[in-house]
Amino acid sequence: MALNQFPTWIRRPWPSGKAFREVKDLLNGMDLHTVCQSAHCPNQSECWSRRTATFMVLGNTCTRHCTYCAVNSGKPMAPDPDEPEKVAEAVRRLGLRHAVLTSVTRDDLPDGGAGHIAATIRAIKRLSPGTTQEVLVQDFVGDVPAIELIVAAKPEIFSHNIETVRRIFPKLRDRRFSYDLSLEVLRIARARIGRGFVKSSFMLGCGETEADIQETLHDLLVAGCDAVSMGQYLQPTPKHQDVEAFIPPEIFTRYESMARDMGFSFAVAGPFVRSSYRSEALLQSEFGRERLQTSGAEQHAD
């Protein structure tokens, strides 16, 4: 392991302290996976110290292999049928007012694991009725019934990450993903989620240009995204995709403004922004609060 050089703004606290240990002990004791650990996330200290975490369901082995991702790929084990209840119990014990769920991609399951994810969303709603949720999902190979299963469980935020710009997409993503299919997934969700939110995120520092970024922001808007987030790609190990550039914080700020000016109702960008980082900010924004109130009234009328 070599001593790496990072710019001064790529510096985070090493996770420690009482709140962090409590979250760690609770999650490890329940045999749950988090993307915080699996993706070697540099925000783990901040998020866990705030007693929040992003749950990764359907195991910690992915059937696809993307060049930037630290999550193991291979042949996954059968899903744990008790996992939806366990995640819901962890959300309850942590007292989360907003929960973020994601999963590995499961091409080995007939519904891609959509039923399991939907069951987890419903279990959280049952045990923590006031808790809002973001669910970050794979593309389900564009399978409309699978996406409908997710939307029908009524997460407040449906997320599917485009991950990178069109030009670089084939270099970074597993060949089973496609840029246009990801846009289609977002369109399918937008058409069915009513006044729920549709969000997508992508990484910068992989060799993209400003024109590439503008194109992707435009494509996401046209697909119906309300919200977008952009963050710095960081290489989890030397075997993964190289970082092409460390983007300074002020440039991220400019991209965030650009996204808002283009028409996103909510945009956030910064070196440590991740799709799940401070996910609740979307619902707490003026735009988010107004729309939640309206959608609450709609759901009540159902």
Is the Cβ of residue 27 or residue 136 nearer to another protein in the bound state?
27
Q: Output the six-digit token pair for 171.
A: 């270099």
Q: Output the six-digit token pair for 181.
A: 């299919």
CB contact at 8 A, 63 and 73: yes
Q: Output the six-digit token pair for 39.
A: 């993706």
Binders of another protein: how many residues, by CB under 8 A?
A: 35
Closest CA to 164 of 70, 275, 57: 275
- The stretch near another protein (CB under 8 A) out of 95-103, 228-236, 250-258, 294-302 is 228-236
What stretch of H or E contains 25? helix 18-29
Interface with another protein, residue 6, by CB under 8 A: yes
**Phi, psi dihedral angles at 135 (to 5 degrees):** -120, 125
Pairing mode, if any, of strands 61-62 and 54-57? Answer: unpaired
CA distance 175 to 155: 29
Q: Site mask, another protein, residues 169-188, x = CB under 8 A? A: --------------------
- The stretch near another protein (CB under 8 A) out of 68-76, 143-151, 251-259, 283-291 is 68-76
Taking the complex as a whole, the smallest distance from the CB of residue 28 to another protein amounts, in Å, to: 4
- The stretch near another protein (CB under 8 A) out of 31-39, 138-146, 251-259, 262-270 is 31-39
Interface with another protein, residue 19, by CB under 8 A: no
CB contact at 8 A, 200 and 184: no
Near another protein by CB under 8 A: residue from 74, 81, 130, 238: 238
Taking the complex as a whole, the smallest distance from the CB of residue 107 to another protein amounts, in Å, to: 20
Q: Coil, strand, or helix at residue 227?
A: strand
Interface with another protein, residue 26, by CB under 8 A: no
CB contact at 8 A, 58 and 117: yes
Interface with another protein, residue 242, by CB under 8 A: no
Interacting residues toward another protein by CB under 8 A: 1-4, 6, 10-17, 20-21, 24, 27-28, 33-34, 36-38, 40, 42, 44, 60, 70-72, 234-238
